[in-house]
Amino acid sequence: MGPAAQAIPASSAPALPQHIAIIMDGNGRWADTRKVTRMRGHSQGSEVLRTLLDSCRARPFIRYLTLYAFSLENWNRPADEVEDLMNLLRHYLRREAATLHENNIRMQFIGELETLAPDIQRDLESVRTLTQNNTGLTVSMAISYGSRQEMATAMKRICKKIEAGALVPDAITADVISAHLHTANTPDPDLLIRTGGDERLSNFLLWQSAYTEFYFTEKLWPDFTPADLDAAIECYSQRERRFGKRKEA
Ligand code: IPE
Ligand code: IPE
Ligand code: MG
C-alpha cells in the first residue's frame, strides 16, 4: 500500500454509519410557507435537533454526529437574523447543557469560535468541559465554521511547527493535515445528509468528506423526523463504498 492510501479505511463492507454529518437547511423556507418569521423557523429547527439527538442515542451504532449550525458565510445575513441566531444558540446551550450531560453526550464545537461573542465562547467552553469525559454520542457542532478557513488555519498551525523546528516539510502527509483540522480526533463522516433540497456542501467538511456518502432530501429541516433519519441510513446501507478499489467479489 502506497503512502497516499494510508488515510483510507481498509474495509469497504457495507455497514451502518458510525459518523453522520448533517447540513440542517431549510428553516427560512419552512417559515415562509407558514407566513411566520424566519426566527420561528430557526427555533423550530432547534426543537428538531433535540429529537434528533434522542434518535441518535436510540441508534447506538451512531458514535459521532457533526451538525452544521452556522457557517462563516452566514455572518453576511442581515444583522437581525444573525442576532436572532446567536440568541437562539445562547438559549439552546443554557437550556440543554444539563440534559446533554445526563444523556452522556460529549459536546465539541468546531469553527472559528473566536469570532463569536465572549459570553457565547464561555458557554461553549463550559458545555465542552462539562461533557468532555462522557462516553456516549460525540456531537460536534459547527458554528462560524468554514471548511476553507479551517484548512487555512491548519496550514498556519503546521507552518508554525516547521518554524519552531518541531516538524519538517517532508513529514507532512494527509494524516498530518487531518490532525491539524478542527475535526482532529474525529473519524471522517460516513454519511452526510443535507435537508432543504439543495445539493451542495456550502463550505462544510470539504477535506473530511473525500469518501463520504451523500444523501440529499427535499425535506426542510424543521420537518425532519426520525423516519427521515432512518430513510437516509437505509439508503446508505444499500451503497457500496469502494474507496477506489475494485468491487467486492
Ligand atoms: C438553515 O436554514 C439555518 C442556517 C443557515 C443558520 P436557512 O436559514 O438557510 O433556511 P433556507 O435555506 O433559507 O430555507
Ligand atoms: C448552509 O446553509 C449552512 C447551514 C445550514 C448552517 P446555507 O443556507 O447557508 O447555504 P447556501 O447559502 O444555500 O449555500
Ligand atoms: Mg439555507
Query: Which ligand is in closest contact with the Cα of 72?
Result: 2
Q: Has residue 125 got a pLDDT over 70? A: yes
- For the stretch 38-67, pLDDT in tens is 999 999 999 999 999 999 999 999 999 999
Nearest CA to ligand 2 atom 11: 202
* Atom 1 in ligand 2: residue holding the nearest Cα: 202
**Is residue 87 situated within a structural domain?**
yes
Decide if pLDDT at 81 tops 90: yes
74 is catalytic: yes
Q: Which strands sit side by side in the sheet containing 19-23, from one edge to the other? A: 106-110, 138-145, 64-71, 19-23, 191-194, 213-216
Please report whether residue 176 resides in a domain.
no
Residue 224 in 3-state DSSP?
Answer: coil
Taking residues 84-89, report their average pLDDT.
98
Tell me if residue 104 is catalytic. no
CATH of the domain at 133: 3.40.1180.10
Distance 24 CA to ligand 1 centre (A): 8
Ligand 1 neighbourhood includes 222 CB (under 6 angstroms): no
Query: Does 5 fall in a domain?
Result: no
Tell me: the pLDDT tens digits for 169-215? Answer: 999 999 999 999 999 989 999 999 999 999 999 999 999 999 999 99
Best residue for ligand 1 mutational test, from 27, 40, 71, 88 (most atoms within 8 Å of Cβ): 27
The total number of structural domains in the chain stands at 1
Residues with CB under 6 A from ligand 2: 23-25, 68-71, 74, 198, 200, 202
Q: What is the mean pLDDT of residues 71-87?
A: 98
In-domain check, residue 133: yes
Asked if 96 and 51 touch (Cβ cutoff 8 Å), the reply is no
174 in a structural domain: no
> Can you tell me which residue has the cell 434528533?
52
pLDDT digits (tens, 9 = 90+) for 4-23: 444 445 445 458 999 999 99
Taking residues 131-157, what's their average pLDDT?
A: 98
Answer whether 0.85 is exceeded by the pTM: yes
Residue 249, pLDDT score: 63
What mean pLDDT value characterizes the chain? 94
Q: Look at residue 131 and tell me if it is in a domain.
A: yes
How far, in Å, from the CA of 2 to the mean position of ligand 2? 37
The percentage of the chain sitting over the pLDDT mark of 90, rounded to a whole number, equals 92
Q: Is residue 156 part of a domain?
A: no
Which H/E stretch holds residue 98? helix 79-102
153 is a domain residue: no
- Ligand 2 atom 3: residue of nearest CA: 71
- Domain span at residue 26 reads 16-147+188-237
What number does the ligand 2 atom closest to the CA of 23 have? 5
Higher pLDDT, 247 or 187: 187
